[in-house]
Amino acid sequence: MTDLETPVATPPRTGALRRAAPALLGYAAVRALGLIILAVWSAANGKSAHTLLTARWDSLWYTRVAELGYGYEVRLPNGDVHSNLAFFPLLPWLERLVSALTPLSYADAGLLVSTLASLAAAWGIFAVADHVYGRRAGVCAVLVWAVLPIGIVQSMAYSESLFTALAAWSLYAVLTGRWLTAGTLAALAGLTRPVGAAVVAALWVAAITSFVRDTPTARDTSYVANRSAQDPDGAPAWRRALGMLLAPLGAAGYVLWVGHRTGGGPLGYLDVQAQWGNGFDGGYAFARFVGDKFTSFPSALAGLGLIVGVALVVWLYVTCVRQGQPLPLLVYAGIVTALALCASGYFGSKPRLLLPAFPLLLPLAVALSRLRTPRSALVLGGVAVASAAYGAFWLNGTGPP
């Protein structure tokens, strides 16, 4: 078997950063390229790159939460109410903390948190991919995540980088049998974005599977007698159980608090999201949105592009299954993908909502890792330039809703 086919042992803690260094340096270089091109592009258009990164769209809502707390609303002409209760609290909490400890404004604190979180996310993605497929694939996984067309979001004062960091490290903790760490990080992920439920589900599935394998009948099977690195280290049952209890506390706590504050009961948060036009309809509204694109020739090209994009996402997930990714990664990526594609609103946000679904990129990372270094560097370098240009164009235009 090749190195790519054999799960590797967890590297010693003292050498973990050294092992991840090529991935982190490559990631930093890609993000720096994106910021440089954004600065040049924005200056040519008479706009501020700093404003685009810190003071537009969702980043404004997060800084308002940090500054004013919850309760801010915007009433639209049609009567809908956009409440800042839709935004989970961990990022604005961190913005408030950093601003209190430094001279930074809330907006700049958010940018600093996002920058550091994006590096932590890159390291977490490397750790997961390295554990499953080896170091070379780990480096490629980080670089593929960095050069995504909407990768510029990783450098914005948004919550995607923070959530991805918490999710990746929680999944790594699950894969390596660190159940208390996994549960704590899952709880923090649940305080960051609604999709934190995907991290909780991945941990629960892994823990329940491990309990089943520990039954007397299962212990007699040759499968358990030959556990792989994907089946964690046989941690005591109480650690697994406590990890399961910790995992949902963040999301459940915030959702229940919103329900109490709004008087909507346990599902009050869904009412808040509904006012924003968000919901889960199995993809019906998105399918109609795509279908409407075929009413005229120019927009039909966009509709065709959307179909190709969805087909690519589905193909990547099927490939993940065929490659035998660990079950926690499949559960996590599957739920993130389903929630992103089947949400009923903000269709332009779907690429951004898929950003945390990094396990979908592992098949591409494995394929790149099998190329010679000059060839893979050429491919990734070319895509990085194109991605940086697209990110600058995107933020100077409609940008992420």
The C-alpha angle with vertex 54 and arms to 48 and 58, in degrees rounded to 5, equals: 125
pLDDT confidence of residue 2? 39
Give the tens place of pLDDT for each residue, 363-379. 999 999 999 999 999 99
pLDDT at 4 over 90: no
User: What token pair was written down for 92?
Assistant: 């604005």
State the DSSP string of 88-141: -SHHHHHHHHHHHHSS--HHHHHHHHHHHHHHHHHHHHHHHHHHHH-HHHHHHH
- Which residues are within 8 A (CB) of 290 and not within 5 positions of it... i.e. 6 or more apart? 303, 306, 307
- Which residues are within 8 A (CB) of 198 and not within 5 positions of it... i.e. 6 or more apart? 167, 331, 332, 335, 336, 339
Residue with tokens 């995540």: 145
Whether residue 35 contacts residue 49, with contact meaning beta carbons closer than 8 Å, is answered with yes
The mean of the pLDDT values for the chain is 90
Give the tens place of pLDDT for each residue, 193-230. 999 999 999 999 999 999 888 766 545 544 343 443 34
Phi, psi of 3 (to 5 degrees): -60, -30
Phi, psi of 82 (to 5 degrees): -100, 110
Phi, psi of 263 (to 5 degrees): 75, 15
pLDDT confidence of residue 345? 76
Give the tens place of pLDDT for each residue, 275-319. 888 888 888 888 888 888 888 778 888 889 899 999 999 999 999
pLDDT above 90 coverage of the chain, percent: 73
Lowest mean pLDDT among 84-98, 165-179, 332-346: 332-346
- In three-state secondary structure terms, 73 is strand
pLDDT confidence of residue 310? 94
Give the number of C-alpha atoms closer than 13 A to the C-alpha of residue 245, restricted to the C-beta side: 6
**Plot region of 10 (φ>0 → left; ψ -120 to 50 → alpha; else → beta):** beta
User: What token pair was written down for 293?
Assistant: 């694109």
User: What token pair was written down for 290?
Assistant: 């795509």
| Helix 249-262 × helix 268-275 angle, to 10° | 80
pLDDT confidence of residue 357? 97
User: Could you give the CA distance from residue 58 to residue 36 in angstroms, rounded to a whole number?
Assistant: 22
User: Could you give the CA distance from residue 356 to residue 338 in angstroms, rounded to a whole number?
Assistant: 12
Confidence band of 14 (pLDDT split at 50, 70, 90):
low
Give the tens place of pLDDT for each residue, 104-139. 999 999 999 999 999 999 999 999 999 999 999 999
- Which residues are within 8 A (CB) of 281 and not within 5 positions of it... i.e. 6 or more apart? 342, 343, 344
User: Could you give the CA distance from residue 141 to residue 135 in angstroms, rounded to a whole number?
Assistant: 10
**Average of per-residue pLDDT across 338-342:** 93
pLDDT confidence of residue 216? 63
Alpha-carbon separation of residue 47 from 55, 289, 392 (angstroms) = 12, 31, 11
**Average of per-residue pLDDT across 225-253:** 77
User: Could you give the CA distance from residue 398 to residue 235 in angstroms, rounded to a whole number?
Assistant: 49
User: Could you give the CA distance from residue 316 to residue 361 in angstroms, rounded to a whole number?
Assistant: 7
Lowest mean pLDDT among 1-5, 82-86, 333-337: 1-5
Confidence band of 234 (pLDDT split at 50, 70, 90):
low
- In three-state secondary structure terms, 367 is helix
Residue with tokens 């913005």: 95
State the DSSP string of 247-301: TTHHHHHHHHHHHHHHT-GGGHHHHHHHHTT--B-TTHHHHHHHHHGGGSHHHHH
The C-alpha angle with vertex 385 and arms to 340 and 18, in degrees rounded to 5, equals: 80
258-281 as b/e, with b when 16 or more CB fall inside 10 Å? bbeeeeeeeebbbbbbebeebeee
Whether residue 332 contacts residue 315, with contact meaning beta carbons closer than 8 Å, is answered with no
